[in-house]
Amino acid sequence: MASTIQTPPPSPPMRPGRPPRSFAGPVVLIIIGVLGLLSTMGVLELEQVGIYFSKDLSKSILYSIAAPGTSQHIAMLAFDVNEFEDSRVREIMSKHGWFQTVVSDLPHFTYLGLKEKDLPKNGLRSVEVNGQVFWIPNVAGNLHPGLDK
């Protein structure tokens, strides 16, 4: 008995001047990324001459927010939890691989996909601030502003 190979139906023809709708999402993300990169470069150039954009205008904006187009939220690897102060919520989140990773952004949880006991083996160290545990990179010689002296 011969097997038949099924081929997918042909794609509908492209209309002149318009990409198919399936291109829309990736194209928009690329445009946002390019525009974000250009604006980020401009901001960082201004910061080199002492014009800062952080929340308190005393340091780089990158201490306050992710550079445009680089947010973990866009990649669905992070979200903010209103009930971040509730230890039960933090426990549930950690059981499913979500951890607080940004000391200056209390509601922010990042998906690390690991058990808490495995985080140190993967280059992270825990820091406790006001009863909440944050997991930050454990890089030799890399001090965390406000935590390390």
pTM of the model: 0.58
Q: Name the residue type at position 76.
A: M
**Alpha-carbon span 132 to 90, nearest angstrom:** 9
The pLDDT score that the predictor gives to residue 149 is 47
Residues contacting 143, CB < 8 A, separation 6+ = 149
Give the Cα separation of 131 and 67 in Å (integer).
Answer: 29
For residue 4, give both structure tokens: 């038949």
Residue 61 has pLDDT above 70, yes or no: yes
How much is the CA Rg of the chain, to the nearest whole Å? 22
pLDDT value of residue 31? 56
Mean pLDDT (whole number) for 37-57 = 77
Confidence of residue 35 (pLDDT cuts 50, 70, 90): low
Asked if residues 27 and 20 have their Cβ atoms less than 8 Å apart, the reply is no
Alpha-carbon span 16 to 104, nearest angstrom:
49
Cβ burial, residue 117 (10 Å; 0-12/13-18/19+): exposed
User: Phi then psi for 113, rounded to 5 degrees?
Assistant: 70, 20
Question: What pLDDT, in 10s, does the model give residues 4-32?
Answer: 677 667 666 655 665 555 655 666 556 55
Q: What is the mean pLDDT of residues 117-143?
A: 88
Rounded Cα–Cα distance for residues 59 and 128 (Å): 24
127 or 43, greater pLDDT: 127
Confidence band of 63 (pLDDT split at 50, 70, 90): confident
